[in-house]
Amino acid sequence: MVQALPVRDIITTWVNVCPLAAIAPNTGVCALVAGQQVAVFRVGQATDVYAISNYDPFSKAFVLSRGIVGDRNGIPKVASPIYKQNFNLLTGQSFDDENVKIPTYQVRVVSDRVQIAIGEVL
């Protein structure tokens, strides 16, 4: 008989990054969250925010927060400021190379504060 492994709980902690007003519409900022550089983007005038790794695997530099925000067929994206590769802000998938995907992070706005989720497995 095979015993089932115990289910582990994931505890999510939300980390305050900045006020929403600190991110101009259609731009990004970089934040250090749990030791990782995270690029946080505000798309449009509302509270639509996305968070991905700030590391651009094509240029091997931490620059994505300085990229050009836009969309591709209605999907929010950022173009790297160096070689202009495009990344899907929802999934981190490169639009230019199907073999490249960067990490994404849960992000929300609470009381006009941008927050990033970090999780721990118990």
- Tell me, yes or no, whether 85 lies in a domain: yes
Residues 6+ apart with CB under 8 A from 84: 68
57 part of a folded domain? yes
On whether residue 55 sits in a domain, the answer given is yes
From start to end of the chain, where are the E strands? 10-19, 27-33, 36-42, 49-53, 55-56, 61-62, 68-72, 75-79, 86-88, 104-105, 107-110, 113-121
Please give the residue range of the domain that contains residue 71: 17-121
Does residue 64 lie within any of the structural domains? yes
Q: What are the tens digits of pLDDT across the range 56-78?
A: 999 999 999 999 999 999 999 99
Q: Position of tokens 């969250």?
A: 33
Identify whether 108 is part of a domain.
Answer: yes
Closest CA to 49 of 112, 102, 118: 112
* Position 109 in a domain: yes
Residue 7 has pLDDT above 70, yes or no: no
Residue 104, amino acid:
T
In a domain, 116, yes or no: yes
**6 found inside a domain:** no
For residue 37, what is the domain's CATH number? 2.102.10.10
**What was the pLDDT predicted at 119?**
78
Average pLDDT for residues 91-113, to the nearest whole number?
A: 98
Give residue 40's pLDDT.
98
Total domains in the fold of the chain: 1
Identity of the amino acid at 102: I
